[in-house]
Chains A and B, each alone.
Chain A
Amino acid sequence: MKSQPQTINLKIDGMHCVACALAIDLELEDLPGVKLATTSYAKCQTQVEFDPGRVSATDLQATIAKTGYRATVLQSSSA
């Protein structure tokens, strides 16, 4: 059974440099099942397009936490 791709918006706390925003994108996209991650430093948000069958929102938050920032779910939607 193929999972529908989902898009989730996460609010990021603790980003103090623009390089951090890039680092978050790269770390998330390294996760299997994540198609695209776009982080905006100015908006303190990241939008992630992922396959919920392979990776969960909690996994995403955990990866962001490992990079050093706290992520909270803003909204999620199915594509």
Chain B
Amino acid sequence: MNYWLIFLTGLTTGGLACAAVQGSLLAALLANRDGQPHPDQTESGRSPDLLPVVMFLVSKLVAYTILGALLGYFGSVFQLSLAARIGFQVVAAVLLLGLAANLVQLHPVFGYFVLQPPRWVGRLIKNQTKSRHVFAPAVLGLFTVFLPCVVTQAMEILAISSGSPVSGALIMASFTLGTAPLFVVIGWVTTRLSAAFRRRFTYASALAVVFVALVSLNGALVLSGSRYSWAGWVWAFKATFVPQTLAASPPAQQATITASGGGYSPRQITVKVGEPVTLNLVTQGNYSCSSVFTIPSLGITQSLPVTGTAQVTFTPTETGPLAFACGMGMFTGTINVVP
């Protein structure tokens, strides 16, 4: 799970729609508090008040991190088996594609993929903008969790899919942090952006969401042991055109694989067919999806400790490439089974 990529998504594309809506809410709050009809009618020489904005952003970050943890936990409860994970990732991919289609306004029907908050949320938020309490901006920031824009909803689906509270929290935190600079720059000063500028940002968001959908779909393929996953195509290409890069090292029936936030290392090992294999899986502070080690075609799923070692033993009965992958089908590797 690349949290930098999620941060970048928030920074570049995820922030715009959210910034516009939430920025105007915050502006309304500040205007009401100062007893002014318009937020940009400040006294001459008075600098913009940064404290409410900071309060708003910090409490928004805290709220979304907690939400991410809850979503990740919810995901973990439903992803106990390989079959459940596969189903989950397919559903996630469909929802994400629907959200992307909605972003580019492909067809009105995609409006149904977006979650519309219930009416009491609107009432709650509007009343909050009328509050004169000193912590009102912080409370408003907290309430924005109930008003997620489309890209935020896509990230929430990803958080559920990650199947771990820590992963979910990190996903939502990275994304929310990414949206913060954009918010400060254009959000709280109500600015009208040209339609063309906004449209380009929206297409970029949609592309990011489509990318996440394809990763999810590919993950489902990997977890179902399919040869048509991206890793499968890469393997077939290498085997056909540059077989020397697949030159097997001397087979060993024992191997140590390190599982970290960046995947598995080494990604290729060689073993002999018909003899038992023991894999020592080592982790150190691993909260990513690689902490669930799977060999889909053998139906093996092994949860690894956050820090420590776990063992997986099996006996390969067929020669050829045997794929292993993380619990989301994102990080992959190959066990070369030789005669």
Contact = CB atoms under 8 A, between A and B. Distances in A.
A44 B111 contact: yes
B111 A22 contact: no
B21 A40 contact: no
B147 A19 contact: yes
Interface stretch (B73-81, B112-120, B171-179): B112-120
Contacts of B116: 18, 21-22, 40-42
Nearest to B21: A19
Contact of A16 (B17, B115, B119, B122): B17
Contacts of A42: 108, 111-112, 114, 116
B126 interface: yes
A41 B21 CA distance: 15
B123 interface: yes
B149 interface: yes
Q: What does DSSP make chain B's interface, helix, strand, loop or mixed?
A: helix
Interface in A11-27: 16-23, 25-26
B123 A26 contact: yes
Q: How large is the interface on A (under 10, 10 to 19, 20 to 34, 35 or more residues)?
A: 10 to 19
A37 B220 CA distance: 42
A38 B122 CA distance: 12
A2 interface: no
A19 B149 contact: yes
A22 B17 contact: no
Given A17-B17, A17-B149, A17-B150, A22 B112 contact: no
Nearest to B110: A42
B147 A22 contact: yes
A34 B121 CA distance: 19
Contacts of A23: 122
B111 A43 contact: yes
Interface string B11-22: 000000100010
Contacts of A44: 108, 111
A18 B126 contact: no
Interface of B: 17, 21, 105, 108, 111-112, 114-117, 119, 121-123, 125-126, 147, 149-150
Closest 6 CB pairs of A and B: A22-B122, A42-B111, A19-B21, A42-B112, A41-B116, A18-B116
